[in-house]
Structure 1
Amino acid sequence: MTSTDLHLTKGSTASAQYAIDIDPKRAGWTHSSLRIVELLPGGSHMFTTGDSEWIVLPLSGGCTVHMEDEEFHILGRDSVFASVSDFVYAPRDTRVQIASGAGGRFALAGAKCERRLPARYGPAPEVPVEQRGSGASAREVRNFASADAFECDKLIAVEVITPGGNWSSYPPHKHDEHRPGEESELEEIYYFEIEGPNGFGYQRVFPSREGGSDVLAEVRSGDAVLVPDGWHGPSIAQPGHAMYYLNVMAGPGATREWRICFHPAHVESAGGYR
């Protein structure tokens, strides 16, 4: 893919229903999806999950999620920089309605799957929060739907807050091969928001094989970067402007796991994964 194919600027994937609408066909792959729906006060949105499982994650605001004969109330948050959020898991082959009295913005993180798991609510206090790295590579990782924290069939999703001026996703790493016990094959979406007006950051993806993905993108709020293959990192936040990104991953492996390989040229200088 070209850098234009990988760096999706704000509005470039908008559809009639979504501010961002990345499905496997648009991404040129098989498994991972991301949608952002924006609701006015009193607004609602309905969709069918089809052959994918989805997580409804508030970026700002709260909502009520209706599925068949179940109803879940999500308290949400003021912004992605304010706090961890609660969320709801929607199984495949389900009709979902999201309604918000005050309005808000909601991420729908999806992955094609095989099993139909039960609908569930994920409370914010149960989200594992990890302070990873130190110094200029310190950041906060919110493992709300990591492979170890919350059961899904294929979907893996986490949030990362990188303080202004810091690096994250470092050293560069990859997960584009199936190597049992060492590396899992996962397609990945990075969705970005930058704190404060005029903020920006940078995202690097470079080839792990001949002809592989290669992009250095200046990212702003509402942008996304696709990682179908290749080494990715660092993610760099502008000084004075914290960077948020939502990672959505899924792949063909029989086991849902996040196993990564670090770039050998950078591991020693980085002092390990930060």
Structure 2
Amino acid sequence: MPQLLVKPSASSGKVLDVTPHSAGWTYVGFALHRLKAGESVGAATGEREVCLVLVSGTAEITAGAKDFGAVGERKSPFAGKPAAVYVPGQAEWEARAVTDVELAVCSAPALTQKAARLIAPDTMSQETRGQGTNTRHVTNILPETDPTADSLLVVEVITPGGHTSSYPPHKHDRDDLPRESYLEETYYHRLDPPQGFGFQRVYTDDRALDETMLIEDGVVTLVPKGYHPCAAIHGYDLYYLNVMAGPKRTWKFHNQKEHEWLLGR
């Protein structure tokens, strides 16, 4: 199995690149570009659909022959909602940085013909999950209730320092609807302040997979199967951008029985 922790390969340009081939799975792709003002990046989607997420900064984006103009306003992933653009399969996109930009390229198989569209911040729902030191704040960028996409599910989460997230431990690694859906998943992690760290564990019931990873600013963790809780240490807020996809575009998870009692507290 490939390493589950992926670190940036450079400080600028395409700094992260997770493909189905490199991850050893079928559906999810994730790349991250860091651009200086005036720099640009673009690609053809081919047989995959793409969600471009402005993690930070402003970029002029064209996609599917549509010009969306300047997209994105926030200066960091901890400063409000993002902006995003959905790009269907068999289309081209380009982003030109107006300011310094961190651009996430989330991808999964395209199954039908759709139109490119802007996903504006004011259209994204937000919710707070959990309680006590399990509280975290969620922004739904491309949830399953949004019919725009064929395969992609995209969400942002901010976990305050000292809190846990993706907890109690849950998994979604069986195609067993309506009880559980099979979804591959990536976590792109950021920390505030950036010198902080956190932890994430990925493990199965039989412990055939059991890895605990040090989370530092700018890394990606892969979740091919199993439970995958994470924790932010005191003093450092944890942001992550989740990308999920599988044979069915629905998020149905199974809680680990040993820890499910926590939901009743």
CA distance in 1, matches of 2:256, 2:149: 29
Stretches of structure 2 that go unaligned for 5 or more consecutive residues are none
Aligned to 1:53: 49
4+ residue runs of structure 1 moved beyond 3 angstroms?
A: 14-17
Report how far residue 94 of structure 1 moved: 0.9
Shift of 1:19: 0.6
1:145 matched to 2:149? The reply is no
- Cα distance per residue 1:147-194 (max 9 Å; x no partner): 124521000010000001001111100100011211000000011001
What is the percent sequence identity of the aligned residues?
35
Counterpart in the other structure of 2:8: 10
Q: 1:237 to 1:150 in 2, by over 3 A?
A: farther
- Is the CA contact 1:127–1:149 (under 8 Å) kept in the aligned structure 2? no
**How many residues in Structure 1 have an aligned counterpart in Structure 2?**
264
> Shift of residue 86 of structure 1?
1.7
Return the letter of the residue paired with 1:64.
E
Select 2:234's aligned residue among 210, 218, 239.
Answer: 239
Query: How many Å separate the matches in 2 of 1:132 and 1:169?
Result: 10
Tell me the secondary structure at the aligned position of residue 58 of structure 2. strand
SS at match of 2:21: helix
Q: Does structure 1 conserve the Cα–Cα contact (< 8 Å) formed by 2:64 and 2:116? A: no
Partner SS state of residue 80, structure 1: coil
| CA distance, structure 2, for counterparts of residue 115 and residue 9 of structure 1 | 33
Amino acid of the structure 2 residue aligned with 1:10: P
Q: 2:111 aligns with which of 104, 110, 114?
A: 114
Matched, 1:29 2:25: yes
* AA at the equivalent of 1:96: W
Note the C-alpha offset of 1:115: 1.2
Report the Cα distance in structure 2 between the residues aligned to 1:133 and 1:171, rounded to whole angstroms: 9
Picking from 86, 89, 95, the partner of 1:89 is: 86
Secondary structure of 1:178's counterpart equals strand
For residue 261 of structure 1, what is the aligned residue in structure 2? 254
CA distance in 2 between counterparts of 1:122 and 1:93 reads 19
Q: Is the Cα–Cα contact under 8 Å of residues 12 and 33 in structure 2 kept in the other structure?
A: no
Specify which of 207, 210, 221 is matched with residue 204 of structure 2. 207
Return closer, same or farther for 1:125/1:16 CA change in 2, 3 Å cut-off: closer
Match of 1:39 in 2: 35
Q: 1:110 to 1:76 in 2, by over 3 A?
A: farther
How far off its partner does 1:75 sit? 2.6
The answer to whether the Cα contact below 8 Å between 2:202 and 2:226 also exists between their aligned partners in 1 is: yes
* CA–CA distance in structure 2, aligned partners of residues 167 and 48 of structure 1: 38
Q: Structure 1 CA distance, aligned partners of 2:12 and 2:80?
A: 30
Equivalent-residue separation in structure 1 for 2:207 and 2:237 (angstroms): 34
Change (3 A) 1:15 1:237: closer
Aligned residue for 1:19, secondary structure, equals: strand
Q: Is the 8 A contact 1:144 1:150 kept in 2?
A: no
- Structure 1 position 191 matched with structure 2 position 184: no
Aligned to 1:131: 128
For the residue of structure 1 that corresponds to 2:228, the secondary structure is strand
Pairwise CA distance, 1:112: 1.5
Which amino acid counterpart does residue 103 of structure 1 have in structure 2? D
- Are the aligned partners of 1:91 and 1:116 in contact in 2 as well (CA < 8 Å)? yes
Q: Which residue does 2:158 correspond to in 1? A: 161
Structure-2 change in CA distance of 1:224 and 1:129 (3 Å):
same
Q: Write out per-residue CA displacement over residues 174-217 of structure 1, whole angstroms, 9 at most, x where no aligned residue.
A: 10001121100000001100111420010011113563x32101
**Which amino acid is the alignment partner of residue 173 of structure 2?**
D
TM-score (norm 1): 0.92
